[in-house]
Each structure stands twice: as C-alpha cells, then as structure tokens.
C-alpha cells in the first residue's frame, strides 16, 4: 500500500473489500456495468443506491424444499432499499472474480443460514429498474432456482421474516406493492418456463451479462 493512500484492498474468501481509513470499516463493493453488461468499475454498496443508481450486477434466487414449498422472505425494516417488502428467497451482489453460483450460496448462508443443495441458473438475462421513496434499483439480475433440506435461520440485519408457501399461492398473492417489483416481474418470466419450478430448464450461461459469465482459463503450453 502506498504511504499516502486512504484505502487499501483486502482479498478475503474470494471477495473484494476495501478498508477505509476514514471510517475504520471494510466496504463491500458492487460491480458497475455498461449497457452491454461489461464491468466498468465498482462502487460502495452502502452508498450506490440513490435517486440515480448506476447500472450494476446482482442476482435473485428462488429457494424450494424437498416437498416443493417455496421460501418467501421479508426484507429487514432497517434496509435502505425496499425495507419491509416481501420478496423472493434471497438477493445479492457478486464480488469481483466471484462465480455467480458461489455468490448465491454465500448470500443464502449469510442472510438465511442455509446451505443450498442444487443451484441452477434459470433466467440469465433478467434486467429491471424500479424506484421507491426516491431510491432507485437498477440491475442486471440473473435469476436462480435452488433447493435446500434445512430450515432457515434468518439474519435479523437482513431479513425481517420468512415463511414457506406453495408456488401457486405465492404467484397469486405477489401481485401488489407489498411485494418487490423485481420478483413480480420475475414471476411472469418464471411462469413462462413451466408450471413446476423443479422442471424449469437451465438457462444458457452465454445469456448472462458479460461481467457474470464464467471465465475460461486455458492451460499454458
């Protein structure tokens, strides 16, 4: 680290953080994107969401148990974006260099205390923009299907409540503004994949935003 720098980079568990000398805290970043889905930089997750939030990379995940029940979550009341809103099981942002499926697993563990079994990409190209109380979400947000064999243990800093329901019941009730705008839009696209979530076909990774596509490493010769 250079002597005059106020921030230095820490690499931990495949995630990118910065330590700020101004605040004495680690700062988590989101990946900023251009219109082609190419990464163009990073921004502080805690301050990126404003009335003009830049386009960035995220994901949504829909978690089911062995009997086909769907896990619905309510966002913590303390959240800056969409506090107290009911939504899909878990959302989040991948770190630089982190595979999307790894990010999904990490966030499910952090928010819900869950170890995911299967994780399957189903909507690689989902994108949306929404606004609530002057705060904008603006994301390229691939959607994943996942399964678990345990009960959630929510992190109260992230999740206000959870409940299991049937997929058909969720689709019927998630039609008003008590549910997140992204999950209401995603439901329509997921329904087009089929009536039975376990049978949703895997999405093509080539359809992911460029910044989220798997990196192919060729062996040296």
- Catalytic residue numbers read 91, 139
Q: How far apart are CA 47 and CA 170, in angstroms?
A: 32
The phi, psi pair for 126, rounded to 5°, reads -65, 135
Q: What proportions of the chain, in percent to the nearest 5, are helix, strand and coil? A: 20, 35, 50
Q: Please tell me whether residue 182 adopts helix, strand or coil conformation.
A: helix
157 strand-pairing partners: none
Instruction: Compute the distance between CA of residue 90 and CA of residue 60 in angstroms, rounded to an integer.
Output: 6
Beta-strand pair 135-140/56-57: parallel
């Amino acid at each position: 680290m250079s002597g005059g720098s106020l921030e230095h980079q820490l690499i931990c568990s495949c995630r990118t953080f910065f330590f700020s000398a101004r605040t004495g805290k680690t700062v988590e970043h989101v990946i900023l994107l251009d219109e082609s889905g190419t990464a163009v930089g990073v921004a502080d997750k805690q301050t990126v969401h404003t009335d003009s939030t830049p386009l960035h990379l995220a994901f949504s995940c829909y978690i089911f148990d062995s009997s086909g029940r769907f896990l619905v979550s309510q966002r913590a009341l303390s959240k800056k974006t969409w506090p107290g809103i009911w939504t899909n099981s878990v959302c989040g942002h991948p770190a630089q260099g982190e595979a999307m499926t790894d990010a999904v697993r990490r966030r499910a563990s952090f928010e819900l205390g869950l170890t995911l079994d299967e994780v399957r990409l189903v909507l690689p190209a989902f994108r949306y923009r929404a606004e609530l109380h002057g705060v904008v979400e603006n994301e390229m947000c691939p959607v994943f299907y996942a399964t678990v064999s345990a009960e959630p243990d929510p992190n109260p800093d992230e999740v206000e409540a959870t409940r299991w329901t049937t997929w058909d019941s969720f689709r019927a009730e998630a039609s008003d503004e008590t549910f997140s705008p992204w999950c209401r839009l995603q439901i329509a696209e997921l329904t087009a994949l089929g009536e039975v979530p376990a049978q949703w076909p895997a999405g093509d990774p080539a359809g992911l935003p460029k910044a989220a596509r798997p990196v192919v490493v060729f062996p040296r010769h």
